[in-house]
């Protein structure tokens, strides 16, 4: 079974460039494009890791993170913030709320993201054949 990653990201461009290398490495990616339904979907999908943006339609990533940490089903799920907002205040708030890591979209090239994920999930089994899913 491939490891499952929930990617909470409203910007299709960022979703496309970050999901491609993860899919190539064999992770299963499930996207949530807005904030209000994210917690329920994360509970239903029960992913191994959540990539979470901060500015989202509906509910902010920080509020989603807080709720995930309050719920028994998700209090120990690995959550990595992946955002444009790199202020000390935002990083501090996210880490206090229980984020496992905080990555800046500008500072990480997509091909390096799988290595960051592997630090939490271990090396995925790479696909022997070319992925056909975009």
60: contact with other proteins by CB under 8 A: yes
Q: How far is the CB of 98 from other proteins (least distance, A)?
A: 21
CA dist list (Å): 21 to 12, 16, 25, 39: 15, 9, 6, 25
Q: How far is the CB of 25 from other proteins (least distance, A)?
A: 10
Contact 105, 14 (CB under 8 A): yes
Q: How far is the CB of 31 from other proteins (least distance, A)?
A: 13
Place of tokens 């949530």: 32
**Range 6-25, binding other proteins (CB under 8 A):** 10-14, 16-18, 20-21, 23-24
**Range 78-117, binding other proteins (CB under 8 A):** 84, 105-106, 109-111
Q: How many residues bind other proteins (CB under 8 A)?
A: 31
Judged on CB neighbours under 10 Å (0-12, 13-18, 19+), 4 is middle
Q: How far is the CB of 43 from other proteins (least distance, A)?
A: 21
134: contact with other proteins by CB under 8 A: yes
Contact 97, 66 (CB under 8 A): yes
63: contact with other proteins by CB under 8 A: no
121: contact with other proteins by CB under 8 A: no
> Measured between alpha carbons, how far apart are the two ends of the chain, in Å?
19
């Amino acid at each position: 079974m491939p490891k499952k990653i929930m990617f909470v990201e409203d910007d299709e461009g960022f979703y496309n460039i970050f999901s491609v290398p993860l899919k190539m490495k064999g992770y299963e990616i499930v996207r949530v494009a807005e904030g209000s339904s994210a917690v329920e979907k994360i509970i239903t999908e029960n992913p191994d890791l959540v990539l979470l943006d901060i500015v989202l339609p509906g509910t902010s990533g920080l509020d989603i993170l807080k709720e995930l940490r309050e719920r028994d089903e998700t209090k120990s799920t690995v959550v990595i913030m992946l955002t444009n907002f790199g202020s000390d205040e935002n990083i501090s708030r996210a880490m206090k709320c229980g984020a496992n890591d905080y990555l800046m979209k500008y500072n990480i090239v997509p091909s390096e993201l799988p290595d960051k994920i592997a630090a939490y999930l271990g090396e995925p089994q790479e696909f022997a054949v070319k992925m056909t899913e975009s």
